[in-house]
Amino acid sequence: MRFVDETRQRIEELHDSAYRFDALFVDFNSDGCPDVFVVSHSDWGATSRLWNNSCDGSATFRHIPASEAGYHVEGEPLVSGWVTRLDFNGDGRQDFWGRHGQALGARYRNGSAGAPGTVRFAAKEAGCEGYCAFGDITGRGELEVITNARQVFDMAGRQLRPGSGSPALQVVGDVTGDGWPDIVQPANGGYWRNEAGAMAWVAVPAFAGGRSMQMLLADFDNDGHLDLFHLDGPKFGNSTRGRLYRNNGAGGFVDVSAGSGLERIAASDYGNIIAADFDNDGFQDLLVSGISDSVRIFRNNADMTFSPSGATGFGPSAGRVSGAWQPGKPRADVADFDNDGRLDIVKTQFRDNAGLWRNTTDTGGRRWMKVRVRGGGGNSDGVGASVRWYRAGSDELVAHLPVLVGEQHPQTHLHTGLAGHGEIDLEVRFPSGGPVHRFAGVASNQEVIVYRNGCLLEGWMPGSGWPLSPPAGCGTGAP
């Protein structure tokens, strides 16, 4: 797989950040075009930078200062990295949530008004102490906060479920396939199964314990079940091993790390890991940032093994300039910024601050699809939904992705390859007891929006905004 550094020809004004600590694609202005956001650390976000995509087809980016957009406010609570992009209040506008290693983390509420294309944050609010995950655990139709002590809070800070078990980092997703998000804690040797809002502990003998740094859930073998990959190592250090677990479809996991090609990954705890289909074959590949201070891609061989793709050297996030060290931590994100049907990469980058890498992989004409899920209530992004692409007229899975949010930068606006399928059957299972909608014969090579009431909008194009509600008369069910 191949990528080309186009930072300097795409970004009009490069501004540095003091100790760049995170890089991600965002859509704070709600126009549907991926924008670039870099978060600074040593000054607690004071030199964070936002570049908006022109959204005119040129895929060029213009710097938007914090004084104009309000994405930095002095004082505690603090954001100094580890950013989650999400709509935490359900108004349809993308907010962001960060954390700080030694202080209360902050969340920024998006207050942009008017037509898509403008951005202005309305307020900075208290976020989490330490690491938090997100999902609709109770089935209220709202996005909720899950702490590493397994406490569940609503967005106003009211506790909905008490803590239980030993604190541990977690990843949230539906590993049992019943439509309810579970809380997976491999360091504790199992997961909390969500039984329609009630939590029950399930021990997984295959989980080896340890410290469990970065972790993600993805269906790597397209069998309809979410597998687990995580890096294991000391906090703020380097991983000593990678662990890959195949979901057996019966509530358990099998350790398939040996021979997977991932078992010896040594990556920084400051980095992140993302499942993404870079070659449009329908199988999720793996991006790991933090390897040798940069990014590495592992190609999915479609059999739960992975091969390193060394065709591109992504360069470091930090380095020495005129004898002085310019700090930065390796972080990355994925999106199709030029709308050519291939997932590109943004990363923290030495000298440029942001690194914008266009995917030039020869995909052999493979097809693709992007899906935006619109949930109801306070979960406008449909976090926890399961999106499945089937060979037309059959139950043969071509691809399967969950809608997730988190500081590892999982995909919320989904993009997958569909191999050679010109049309597919698209199925969206809304989370936490929500409806299931299946659409037959949907053409590939397009972006669609799916609403909770069963409305499917085809042929959506960036620049026209993300309608929060379906058009009148579209859909067959209740919202």
DSSP per residue over 175-195, as a string? SSSSSS-EEEEGGGTEEEEEE
Q: What are the pLDDT digits (tens) for 410-438? A: 999 999 999 999 999 999 999 999 999 99
pLDDT mean over 383-393 = 99
CATH code given to domain 367-457: 2.60.40.10
Q: What are the pLDDT digits (tens) for 441-476? A: 999 999 999 999 999 999 999 998 889 999 999 987
Q: How far, in whole angstroms, is CA 214 from its chain's centroid?
A: 13
Report whether CATH 2.130.10.10 matches the domain 3-359. yes
With a cut of 80, say whether residue 13 has pLDDT above it: yes
Report pLDDT for 122.
98
Cβ atoms < 10 Å from Cβ of 253? 26
User: Which amino acid belongs to residue 218?
Assistant: A
Residue 131 is encoded by which pair of tokens?
């690491």
Say if 3-359 and 367-457 have the same CATH topology: no
Confidence class of residue 479 from pLDDT cuts 50, 70 and 90? Answer: low
With a cut of 90, say whether residue 326 has pLDDT above it: no
Stated as kind and residue range, the H or E segment containing 67 is helix 66-69
Q: Is the pTM of this model over 0.85?
A: yes
With a cut of 90, say whether residue 325 has pLDDT above it: no
Answer whether 387's CB lies under 8 Å from 372's CB.
no
Q: Where are the domains of the chain?
A: 3-359, 367-457
Residue 54 is encoded by which pair of tokens?
């022109």
With a cut of 80, say whether residue 402 has pLDDT above it: yes
Residue 69 is encoded by which pair of tokens?
């957009």
| Main-chain phi, psi angles of 188, to 5 degrees | -90, 0
Report pLDDT for 284.
99
Report pLDDT for 324.
83
With a cut of 70, say whether residue 364 has pLDDT above it: yes
User: Parallel, antiparallel, or unpaired for β 367-374 and 446-451?
Assistant: parallel
With a cut of 90, say whether residue 212 has pLDDT above it: no
Q: What are the pLDDT digits (tens) for 332-362? A: 999 999 999 999 999 999 999 999 999 999 9
DSSP string for residues in 367-388: EEEEEEEE-STB-TT-TT-EEE
Arithmetic mean of pLDDT over the chain: 95
Report pLDDT for 477.
66
Q: What are the pLDDT digits (tens) for 214-264? A: 999 999 999 999 999 999 988 778 888 899 999 999 999 999 999 999 999
Report pLDDT for 208.
78
Answer whether 442's CB lies under 8 Å from 425's CB.
yes
CA dist 175 and 181 (Å) reads: 7
With b for 16 or more beta-carbon neighbours within 10 A and e for fewer, the 193-214 pattern comes to bbeebebeebebebbbebbbbb
Q: What are the pLDDT digits (tens) for 117-173? A: 899 999 999 999 888 999 999 999 999 999 999 999 999 999 999 999 899 999 999
Residue 113 is encoded by which pair of tokens?
């008004």
Instruction: Give percent of the chain with pLDDT exceeding 70.
Output: 99
**pLDDT: is 465 or 4 the higher one?**
4
Query: 334 pairs with which residues across the strands?
Result: 345
Answer whether 227's CB lies under 8 Å from 219's CB.
yes
